[in-house]
Amino acid sequence: MAILWHKHVNGTHYEIRTAGQTRRLYTDGVFHSQFNPNRPVTGGVWDLLLLPAFFYPAGDLQRILVLGVGGGAVIRQLLHFIRPAAITGVELNSVHLYAATRFFGAARRNVVLHHADAVRWMQRYRGPKFDMIIDDLFGEADGEPVRAVQAERCWCHTLRAHLAPNGVLVANFISTLELRHSAYVMDRDLSRRFKAAFQLTTPLNENAIGAFLRMDANRCDLRNRLRATPGLNPELKTSRLSYRIRRI
């Protein structure tokens, strides 16, 4: 891949690499985002962050919060497939925000991006609740991605408090084991506040995505909506969408 842009900031090295129309964001060699406007299905973890939106009928998710914007890949996917009324993004890394707006096309009229610490931002937020919250807060340690905020009881309850009555909370984990040890699963008081919970994985990544819904849902409805969505039907030979799903 060719290097489109690079920069050193406070000892951290950032790169935007390209291959055709595909752009990737790397921070100290850690792969953070990928997007191609002509092929919005990435084949990676960002697809899994998008998929829980399809538990809901078209138009039901109008206000979406993305914690951890990175290069803005999932924001671009939401804009392409869901088209909500408003997307709010919160990102601590100012270079990532710069990359998201300049190189990944995340700056749109219905997208508001905040340069802020996500924990403090959520604690201070007093606005309308969100139909969908995506927790994709990651950093780097020893050249590997790590969750920036542990999914402990306090944090999980904070996110749930800002979720609409029929909303979905989506969280990215390094592994299935990390998901299974999160408060969403281990804390009985928290887990029973959601009517349905699913784990999504892909053969191409070790990450596990948890989807926690405040309404009942099933895999059949999800699959049917994916089949009916141009570019997302996994049964077509041309589809790049590959995922596994199971109830938690």
**3-class secondary structure, 222:** helix
Looking at residue 96, the DSSP 8-state letter turns out to be: H
- Cβ-contact 71, 23 below 8 angstroms: yes
Residues 6+ apart with CB under 8 A from 54: 222, 225, 226, 229, 232
- Domain of 136, in residue numbers: 42-247
Please indicate, yes or no, if residue 164 is contained in any of the structural domains: yes
138 lies in some domain? yes
Answer yes or no: is 118 within a domain: yes
Which two three-digit tokens encode residue 76? 């671009």
β-bridge partners, 2: 18
Does 79 reside within a domain? yes
Domain assignment present for residue 18? The answer is no
**Looking at the domain assignment, is residue 234 inside a domain?**
yes
Question: Is residue 239 included in any domain, yes or no?
Answer: yes
Tell me the whole-structure pTM to 2 decimals: 0.96
pLDDT of residue 140: 80
- Amino acid at residue number 187: D
Average pLDDT over residues 52-72: 96
Position 237 scores a pLDDT of: 87
Tally of domains within the chain: 1
Angstrom CA distances, 27 to 67, 70, 142, 197, 224, stand at 18, 10, 12, 32, 37
Q: Give pLDDT tens digits for 109-118.
A: 999 999 999 9
As a whole number of angstroms, the distance between CA 226 and CA 215 comes to 19
Looking at residues 117-130, what average pLDDT do you find? 97
CATH of the domain at 128: 3.40.50.150
Q: Mind listing the pLDDT tens digit for each residue in 135-186?
A: 999 988 887 889 999 999 999 999 999 999 999 999 999 999 999 999 999 9
What's the average model confidence in pLDDT over 57-77? 96
pLDDT at 212: 98
| Lookup: tokens for 70 | 């990175």
12 found inside a domain:
no
